[in-house]
Structure 1
Amino acid sequence: MNPSTWLSLVFVSHALARESAWNGKTPFGSDAPKVFLPFYVPPGARSHDSSSPLIQYRGLWSQSYSSSYIGATSRWTDEPGARVSLPFVGTGIEWFGSQDRTHGIAVVFIDGQQVDAIDAWSYIPRTQQRLFCKYDLPYGKHLFEIEHTGRGAEGVAIPITDINAMIVTKGHDYGSSLSAPTGLDDDTQDDDTQDDDGSQWSVVQRGSTGVAAMQLVIISPSHALIIDKVEHNPISIDGHPAWGALYNLDTQAVMPLRIQSNSFCAGGTFLSNGTLINVGGNPVIEDFTSPADFGHLDGLQAVRLFHPCSSSDVSRCYMYENHARIRMASPRWYNTAIRLSDGSAMIIGGSKKGGWINNATVNNPTVEYWPPKSIHGSNGLPIHLPFLVDSLNANLFPIAFTLPDGKVFMAANRDAMIYDWKTNTEQRLPRIPNGVRVTYPMTGVGLLLPLSPGNYTPEILICGGSAIDDTTPGYEISSQDPASNQCSRITLTEAGIAVGWEVERLPEPRHMPDAVLLPTGQVFIVNGAKSGISGYGNVKDQVGVSNADSPNLTPVLYTPDAPPGQRFSTVGMKPNLIPRMYHSVATLTPAADILVAGSNPNLDRSEVKYGTEYRVERFQPPYMAAERPIITQLPHNIYYAQPFEIDVTIPSGVNATEPTIKVALMDLGFVTHAVHANSRLVYLTVSSFRNGESMILVGPPDGSIYPPGPGWIFLVVDGVPSQGRMVMVGDGQGPPVDESAWEK
């Protein structure tokens, strides 16, 4: 079956007999076209069919009966102005109804304000269709209303509107200041006034992601790419739920993406030409919620390509897959992908099949390259790494960064090393102290701290994780086992390695955290839990099915160049309004604030504690309220060790001749499972500053300091950054292709 055929696969019954779904096979019968019925009630949500006494009708409504309707009933009207309403308490609402050539336009209201107009006309008759949904309401009481307009498509004499069912996403009241309803504004904001010292952060809630945000990467000034596993997400494409979407950072609009294979727990990185590769995933799952019925492919060896798409119009952006010709050499679940100094990708580790804690029978202790490299006698095939054997069992999603000398730092479990991929040699580093494990499922977060001109000395920071023994069976691990508050920091010089890891302490323990570099050089630490372990459905004392509990709602700011003991601060911090547990993400945006999304410790979409979370939060540092510098013009490409000019506007009140100025070149990273692959901040050399209006900068020395590919430039004046401007570092050409390796 060719790739285009896969795009036509649609929903079939879970009761169909299935064959093994492996290496691109799909269950028997899943290629038989049927209408996908998007009606799905997540555990913990509440469904009201059209005859529910809580749904109130005004005007003339008639009732129809059919086994094709939810609850076998449907209410419809052709009377202009007829209304239906449902008061509810929660965070979201869905309306299901029918579509055909007799249906017309209805207007949707929430809390008295119009939010949408829905035209249910369709050439093809369909029942149980999701006609409207909204998932980002503040927790509290709301009123949902639909009014039939009496208008319809040309030729429809008396159009109708019908109500088949409504689903209330109940959500949870976590006691935050944003729990009170504030109407329909997508930007729900804390109204605390700013502190006199200017240290006050704010949190705003902006839109929803449409698919659960398991993987996140900024692809352009206007959009983020979000990827999930195969499940019952609320937005659909090609007759099945979508598991990829483009989220507009400015308008919060969401466009579903066509993805063929199961991208559950994939890795990703940009290449030197700006193409994003998304690699690995999970096979077709045949049990429980039967996502196999969605007609997807096995994703374990998948290579998905997303070519550069920087326009604000994303209607032509797409994910390319060709499983017959483009795939990895080996299956990988929970792998990490990083960009190397030549612009290619190194794909590291993982498991040969889905599971939980890794073990020797399924471990994939290798690296491979994209495009493939025929080095060290590999003929383009995977290269064995003893490190990934010695670091069993908790070694999935290794922490890895390209170092300023072109080598690669890796950490997995309690172990760390420097890998010289050009000579295939490992330099083992001191173990992470105190028995703390830092990779899945004892997940911590790692960063390469900012690199500055001069010696570009690399330092690694790893925070959080767990000291749970990775040989302990799941039935002996509890969601109440404490997380670690340890941060470990090492300088990767000969002297620094001899000293070993410096231990610091987070204000609170944190497992599954995200750590985001800010243009100022500080680190914003957010998300995660105070107890338990990553994953779902594996341990005792589960919360819902979450393996973790006690969400850590208070972000922390880490200042790397402050004296030891003074680096952590929570001054002015606003808490998460939403618990962000397993499958949460956070990233810096081009606006220089922090986007936080996701949380889904569940097999499928769920509303139990802790449920599937679609709401987006933006954490805004104090500098967002200040007058900010502006980069008015810069080149499209910047070249290594070459000068280039940017035009700037310096804020009023700043001494234009003697401000403190830094220019940050940043890779915002590919984020999933607390892995911030490729996250990077390199401060550029400022060679001259002309009249406060233009600057001459020098590009990074080489591809080891900043690997060739896309980046973002932020101008930081007296601690206040500009908005980021996208650039291409290097010539924008693709990575070298080894034809002999490719042929293998």
Structure 2
Amino acid sequence: MGGVMDSRRWSSLVLVTLVLATLQSELPGAGAAVSLGTWRIVKENAGVSSMHAIVTPVEGSVVILDHTNSGPTNLTFPDGRCRVTTYDKILKNDCGAHSLVLDPETGALRPLMVWTDPFCSSGNIVADGSIQQTGGDFEGAKLTRSLSPDCYAVEPINKYCDWQENKVANSSTPLYLKWQRWYSTNVLLPDGRQIVFGGKNSKDTCEFTPPSATNQRARTMAFLTMTTDSLTCDTTTNPYCAVSKNGPNNWYPYAYLLPNDMIYLFANRDSIMYDYKKDVVVRNYPKIPGNPRNYPSGGSSVMLPLKWEDGYASAEVVICGGATNTSNAYALGSTSCGRMKVTDPAPEWIMEDMPIPRIMGEMVMLPDGSAIIINGAMAGFQGFKTATVPVLTPVLYSPDKALGLRFTLMKPSVIPRMYHSTANLLTDGSVMIAGSNTNQYYTFRKPANVVSKVFFPTELSVEAFLPPYNLLSLGGRPTITSVDRTVVKLGSLLQVVFNDRTSGPASADKFMFTMNSSPWSTHSYSQGQRMVTLKVSGRISSSYGVDANGTPTNFRQAALAIPRYSKILPPTYYMLWVVKNGNPSNKCTWIQITF
């Protein structure tokens, strides 16, 4: 029986490998496309594998967070600090760090102390720039944590600058969530709070954090019950029941704040428009064709940029990939992508296929309005040792191109990024890739009882992928030299000064100004990812000259109209970009949006 099973597994693996080889050799233009973009190593060994990651405002560092009940990591505190507890499942005296802050330019890092388990949790950057994180597993499942902006530097002002567990105002009592939040999703609201949806052991509810006097209770959501595929194992004896056959396929639901102040919520294959103020489902959307998309299926999703051209009235959601069988680590994943304008009166899914099957792919919005699909595997599903055949080739998705022409293969990496990997847009426009741990503990050698084709070692390296922005024929990448202020009120004008290389008549250049949030990346979905385009008020002023190096340069200034409403730009920090002829500026400028 074992021989037959091994033969079937090998046959599936060979099939998957042949499919990838065929795709890369026979797609129109694929031979040239795979050379696009550049990779660099940020850190050979960060010591902590990235399960969650987020880019910090202003500082531009990256905070990485792993789970704590995983035994020792490869990073310790320089002063010998240890985490001594009675509740840790593996080590009561744990001297390994489970979080860190990393400078993506130099690779310098500093360990951060986190006391309770944030395993498979959620979070966002809120109005004051702090990271507000919710839930986790075991002793951390109902806790919320924060990291202050004072802690974002690799060398902070204070000697100890770490994760803090949030407390009830004017007390030492922990600020508990109503229900456990493991595999849940957060949305930043216009009033600065977060709403948290679903997850394991959440009783199919949503709740606000921090709570207010008018909505202390958690709300039961029939939608989350309806979209739960039945489990076939006992959650009391198997805490990782998510990887069992048929279920649940609705953890880490996709959620977006829409420009009408409603929330688009997607789980499994279904979606709704939810009025979070009245606790009412406003509309139900058509079921997406094909496979389930959420955990453990492992698809991914983005909301495309909200645009000033239509007054920020419309919103489009893209959902791609996922598993076709959540009980077979060798089953080929999905190539299907669905796109729907969710603000239309009668929306329908428009389907297309990616060039490569992909589960656990991260979708990251780039400053030019395109999206990169990166990381993941070709076969299997999310979970420990439940996927095979890493996808090393990023794919660029260009939403403004015609159907059938939107996907472009990029230059591949050489490092598999499987379950528990992350992807984040950095301040230079590159995408930082980190993590990959398909093992419950840090494991660098294959255990004797594990099938080799499903084993991937714990990955501690960090790398960055730079998409092919530097098109000199179009004038290269602009440089933002100044803004008139970095704290900007809704509905105001922001003056930005920038320069760019000449590439023909200055009047022929086309500009786009965009703002990207900094989302919480985990489990093939970036929570809080948001992008808007900005209207130029009046004309872009331009004068010709040479820069300090004698290069012919255009010196320009533009007044940018910031949207008036917080339902378009919830108050938090955003990366401001100048995009010339498709080339984003070589650095962003951080802008804090306030009321």
Q: TM-score, normalised by structure 1?
A: 0.64
Residue of structure 1 aligned with 2:575, choices 688, 709, 712: 712
Q: SS of 1:330's equivalent? A: coil
- Residue 725 of structure 1: how far off its partner (Å): 0.9
Partner of 2:63 in structure 1? 225
3-state SS of 2:469 partner = helix
Distance 1:452 1:403 in 2: 12
1:141 is matched with which residue?
none
User: Which residue does 2:11 correspond to in 1?
Assistant: none
* Aligned residue identity for 1:202: T
Q: Distance in 2 between matches of 1:696 and 1:197?
A: 37
Match of 1:53 in 2: none
Give CA-to-partner distance per residue, 1:648-685, whole Å, 9 cap, x none: 11223353333100111111311000111111110001
Q: Could you tell me which of 190, 206, 212 is aligned with 1:373?
A: 212
Query: Is the Cα–Cα contact under 8 Å of residues 529 and 549 in structure 1 kept in the other structure?
Result: yes
Per the alignment, residue 589 of structure 1 pairs with 426
Counting only pairs closer than 5 Å after superposition, residues 614-633 of structure 1 correspond to structure 2 as: 614-624=460-470, 626=472, 627-633=476-482
Q: What's the offset of the Cα at 1:529? A: 0.9
Q: Distance in 1 between matches of 2:506 and 2:273?
A: 43
1:556 match: 395
SS of match in other structure, 1:389 = helix
Give the 3 Å change call, closer, same or farther, for CA 198–552 of structure 1 in structure 2. closer
Q: Report 1 or 2 for greater relative contact order, CA contacts < 8 Å, sequence distance ≥ 6.
A: 2
Selected match of 2:74 from 231, 234, 249: 234
Q: Is 1:604 matched with 2:438?
A: no
Given residue 552 of structure 1, which amino acid in structure 2 is its aligned partner? V
Deviations 1:332-380 (A, max 9, x none): 111111101112111111112xxxxxxxxxx5211111120344xx4x1
Match of 1:501 in 2: 349
**Aligned runs of 1:371-410 on 2, under 5 Å?**
371-375=210-214, 378=215, 380-392=216-228, 393-410=248-265
2:166, 2:122 → 1: CA distance?
A: 18
1:489 is matched with which residue: 318, 339, 346?
Answer: 339
Between the aligned partners of 2:492 and 2:188, the Cα distance in structure 1 is 22
Residue type matched to 2:371 in 1? V
1:683 and 2:533 matched = yes
Q: Percent identity?
A: 29
Q: How does 1:258-407 map to 2 (within 5 A)?
A: 258-283=113-138, 298-309=139-150, 311=153, 313-314=155-156, 316=158, 317-322=161-166, 324-352=173-201, 363-375=202-214, 378=215, 380-392=216-228, 393-407=248-262
CA distance in structure 2 between the aligned counterparts of 1:436 and 1:330, rounded to whole angstroms: 29
Shift of 1:631: 1.0
1:632 is paired with a residue whose SS is: strand
> For the Cα contact (< 8 Å) 1:365–1:386, is it kept in 2?
yes
Q: CA deviation at 1:322?
A: 4.8
Whole-Å separation in 2 of the counterparts to 1:479 and 1:314: 44
Q: 1:466 aligns with which of 314, 323, 326?
A: 323
Give the counterpart letter for 1:236 in structure 2: T
Change (3 A) 1:715 1:459: same
Q: How does 1:532-543 map to 2 (within 5 A)?
A: 532-536=380-384
Distance 1:312 1:532 in 2: 38
Question: Secondary structure of the equivalent of 2:508?
Answer: coil
**SS in structure 2 opposite 1:564?**
coil
User: What per-residue deviation string (whole Å, max 9, x for no partner) do you get for residues 295-332 of structure 1?
Assistant: xxx11011111122465633544211156332212211
Tell me which moved more, 204-213 or 398-407. Answer: 204-213
Q: Deviations over 1:390-425 (max 9, x none)?
A: 111221111111111111111111111111101111
Unaligned runs of 5+ in 1: 1-173, 175-194, 284-297, 353-362, 470-476, 537-545, 732-744
**1:431: Cα distance to partner?**
4.1
**Alpha-carbon contact 1:341-1:703 (below 8 Å) kept:** yes
In structure 2, the residue matched to 1:725 is 589
Question: Does the alignment pair 1:248 with 2:85?
Answer: no
Give the structure 1 partner of residue 282 of structure 2.
Answer: 427
Change over 3 Å in CA distance of 1:199–1:697 after alignment to 2: farther
| Aligned partners of 2:269 and 2:289 also within 8 Å | no
Q: Give the letter for the 1:226 counterpart.
A: I
Q: 8 Å contact 1:222–1:312 — kept in the other structure?
A: no
Among candidates 556, 576, 587, match of residue 413 of structure 2: 576
Distance 1:322 1:561, change over 3 A: closer
Deviation per CA, 1:262-307, whole angstroms, max 9, x where unpaired?
1111100111222211110111xxxxxxxxxxxxxx1101111112
Correspondence list, 1:186-225, <5 A: 200-207=36-43, 208-220=45-57, 221-225=59-63
- Any idea what the Cα deviations from partners look like across 1:162-189, whole Å, max 9, x if unmatched? xxxxxxxxxxxx9xxxxxxxxxxxxxxx
In structure 2, the residue corresponding to 1:694 is in which secondary structure?
Answer: strand
Q: Give the counterpart letter for 2:123 in structure 1.
A: G
Give me the whole-angstrom Cα distance separating, in 2, the residues matched to 1:449 and 1:434: 20
Q: 2:477–2:583: 8 Å Cα contact kept in structure 1?
A: yes
Aligned residue for 2:506, secondary structure, equals coil
CA shift for structure 1 position 198: 12
- The answer to whether the 8 Å contact 1:199/1:622 transfers is no
Secondary structure of 1:434's counterpart equals: coil
Contact 1:631 1:725 in 2 (8 A): yes
Q: TM-score, normalised by structure 2?
A: 0.79
- 1:235 partner amino acid: L
Deviation at 1:454, TM superposition (A): 3.1
**Aligned in 2, Cα 1:551/1:431: closer, same or farther, shift over 3 Å?**
farther
Task: Determine if contact 2:33/2:411 at 8 Å carries over to the other structure.
Answer: no
Instruction: State the Cα distance separating 1:199 from its structure 2 match.
Output: 7.4
* Secondary structure at the counterpart of residue 433 of structure 1: coil
C-alpha change, 1:421 and 1:196, in structure 2 (3 Å) is closer
CA distance in 2, matches of 1:530, 1:204: 24
- State how far apart, in whole Å, the 2-side matches of 1:453 and 1:258 are: 42
CA contact (8 A) 1:374 1:381 kept: no
Partner of 1:613: 459
1:582-639 per-residue CA deviation (whole Å, 9 max, x = no partner) reads 0011111000011111100111001233011011121112224754211111111122
TM superposition shift of 1:385: 1.1
Other-structure match for 1:355? none
SS at match of 1:597: strand
Q: Of residues 624, 646, 649 in structure 1, which corresponds to 2:496?
A: 646
**1:222–1:250 CA contact under 8 A, matched in 2:** no
Q: Secondary structure at the residue paired with 2:289?
A: helix
Q: Distance in 1 between matches of 2:362 and 2:307?
A: 23
| CA pair 611-196 structure 1, distance change in 2 beyond 3 A | closer
1:242-271, Cα deviation, whole Å (9 max, x unpaired): 111001111101210011101111100111
Q: Give the conservation status (yes or no) of the 8 Å contact 1:644–1:698.
A: yes
**Root mean square deviation of aligned Cα:** 2.1
Q: Does structure 2 conserve the Cα–Cα contact (< 8 Å) formed by 1:368 and 1:382?
A: yes
Q: What letter is aligned with 1:729?
A: I
Number of matched pairs = 491
For 2:517 and 2:492, the matched residues in 1 are separated by 19
Read off the aligned partner of 2:377 and give its amino acid letter: A
Q: Distance in 2 between matches of 1:668 and 1:623?
A: 20
Counterpart amino acid of 2:148?
Answer: H
Select 1:669's aligned residue among 516, 519, 539. 519
Q: Deviations over 1:1-37 (max 9, x none)?
A: xxxxxxxxxxxxxxxxxxxxxxxxxxxxxxxxxxxxx
| Structure 2 counterpart of 1:153 | none
Q: Which moved more, 1:576-585 or 1:427-436?
A: 427-436
The one-letter code of the counterpart of 2:165 is E
